[in-house]
Structure 1
Amino acid sequence: MALGALRPSPLVEQAAQRLRDHITAGHWPVGGKLPGETTLAKELGVGRSTVREALRSLAGAGLVQPRQGAGVFVIATREQEDWPARLRRAAVADVYEVRMLVEVQAARLAAARRDTGDIAALRAALERRRAAASGGDAAFIDADIDLHARVVAAAHNPVLTDLFAEFAPVLREGLIELLELMDVRAHESGHGDAAHAALVEAVVDGDADLAGRTLEEELRETLVHLR
């Protein structure tokens, strides 16, 4: 089956897609060797440099693997979707459930590990959230997420911090949409200030059980709205 010449447009992307289609359709099975760059370039109607970049893209996606002196071999027929892409595609409620698992434990660790710098940062973040409560939805969500990020940071676990940072963009988008659709803040006394103040104080006081329980209750209420 011939690959077919490409139309003018981003050639590397087109070449990568055409090669990807052949791999996923099984024309080149796992373990099989792809034709050489010269052959592929001729069939696609592009230069060898374009083929080389396309193959590099497919290697990054986990579909092929170059072997020094042997050529390029198929190692999978399905792309390995990276974690940020998987999060962007996921339902916000599903992401929120995982967030609860991660962040509740982070709050418990934060209560045990927070230092004076964390305490100051948490209290400042709480005040920024209060100040943002009368502003626009995006500003309020940013301040809310920042407070939660400060709690996670106080756990002093870089993996938890990075994991929360991966969640944050998806959470921000979903929560802003929730506020716009349901006007949650209009029906919530104090915009959740009491719960967030209790969370901060539990962390400051070093009460891990209370910190985890307070945060879990607060997040569960939002999850109900998301569903």
Structure 2
Amino acid sequence: MPLGALRPSPLVEQATDRLREQITAGEWSVGTKLPGEIALAKSLGVGRSTVREALRALAGAGLVQARQGSGVFVIATEPREGWSTQLRQAAITDVYEVRMLVEVAAAQLAAQRRTDEDIAALHGALARRHAAATAGDAEFVAADIVLHEKVVAAAHNPVLTGLFTEFVPVLRQRLLDLMELLDLRADDPNHGDEGHAMLVGAIAEGDAEAAGKALRDELTQTLTLLHSL
């Protein structure tokens, strides 16, 4: 079955999708050796470097495996679930438990590594979160997430930053669900304001222990509520 030439952009994504479709549709069964890079490039109408990147993506999804000196072979017809997929499907309590591990460590590092620019950004985000108390849940949650992003950024660890970035889309929806489920802002429109102020203050003062405790206490309070439902 001919693969067909691709549109100009984005070539790598298109090549990956086209090859994935062939594998998941059973055009190439498990154990089958894929055509070489030159043949695939000609069929798809792209360069060899594009094919190479597409094959790397498929390997990352657990669909193919390169064998030194032999070629690239199909090892599965269903992609392995990625981290983002697992997050979307996870229970809210599981998300919060992992969030606590990531963010408490980030807060402690932030207290040790924050710069003057970080401190200014944290105070600005705290002020915006406070101002969002008069807004709806979506605006309040967005302001809350920005503050937590600033905390993670102040840790100056690209791995932590990347990990938290993966959390953000799921976290946004989970927080909105929490607002509705627990009606957290019914009595206090600026829910958690004191705890967040303590967090920002501890980071600004360089107190790693206090920063970690402030964030741990905040997340533990919500997690306890979730477990009680």
Bin of the TM-score, shorter chain as denominator length: 0.7 to 0.9
**In structure 2, C-alpha distance between the alignment counterparts of 1:58 and 1:189, rounded to whole Å:** 46
Deviation track 1:102-151 (CA, whole Å, cap 9, x = no partner) reads 11011111111111111111111110000001111010001011111111
Superposition pairs of residues 1-227 of structure 1, within 5 angstroms = 19-20=23-24, 22=26, 28-29=29-30, 32-33=31-32, 61-65=61-65, 73-76=73-76, 78-188=78-188, 190-227=190-227
**In structure 1, C-alpha distance between the alignment counterparts of 2:18 and 2:187, rounded to whole Å:** 50
**In structure 2, C-alpha distance between the alignment counterparts of 1:191 and 1:83, rounded to whole Å:** 30
Cα gap change, 1:106/1:70 in structure 2, threshold over 3 Å: closer, same or farther? closer
Q: TM-score, normalised by structure 2?
A: 0.73
Cα distance, 1:95 vs structure 2: 1.5
> Computing the radius of gyration over CA atoms, which structure comes out larger, 1 or 2?
1
Contact 2:107 2:215 in 1 (8 A): yes
Q: What secondary structure, in the 3-state scheme, does the structure 1 residue paired with 2:186 have?
A: helix
Contact 1:107 1:151 in 2 (8 A): yes
Match in the other structure for 1:8: none
Cα distance, 1:158 vs structure 2: 1.2
**In structure 1, C-alpha distance between the alignment counterparts of 2:20 and 2:110, rounded to whole Å:** 46
Cα gap change, 1:107/1:66 in structure 2, threshold over 3 Å: closer, same or farther? closer
Q: What secondary structure, in the 3-state scheme, does the structure 2 residue paired with 1:121 have?
A: helix
Match in the other structure for 1:44: none
Deviation track 1:163-218 (CA, whole Å, cap 9, x = no partner) reads 11111110110110111233211134741111111111111111111110111000
Q: What secondary structure, in the 3-state scheme, does the structure 2 residue paired with 1:79 have?
A: coil
Letter in 2 for 1:128: R
Deviates more, 1:202-211 or 1:189-198: 189-198
**In structure 1, C-alpha distance between the alignment counterparts of 2:163 and 2:220, rounded to whole Å:** 19
Cα distance, 1:161 vs structure 2: 1.1
Q: TM-score, normalised by structure 1?
A: 0.74
When the two structures are aligned, how many residues end up with a matched partner? 202
Cα distance, 1:77 vs structure 2: 5.6
Cα gap change, 1:163/1:19 in structure 2, threshold over 3 Å: closer, same or farther? closer
Q: What percentage of aligned pairs have identical amino acids?
A: 55
**In structure 1, C-alpha distance between the alignment counterparts of 2:148 and 2:66, rounded to whole Å:** 43
Q: Where do 5+ consecutive residues of structure 2 fail to align?
A: 1-15, 37-42, 45-50
Cα gap change, 1:217/1:189 in structure 2, threshold over 3 Å: closer, same or farther? farther
Cα gap change, 1:209/1:72 in structure 2, threshold over 3 Å: closer, same or farther? closer
Deviation track 1:65-111 (CA, whole Å, cap 9, x = no partner) reads 47799675222465222222222222222121111001101111111
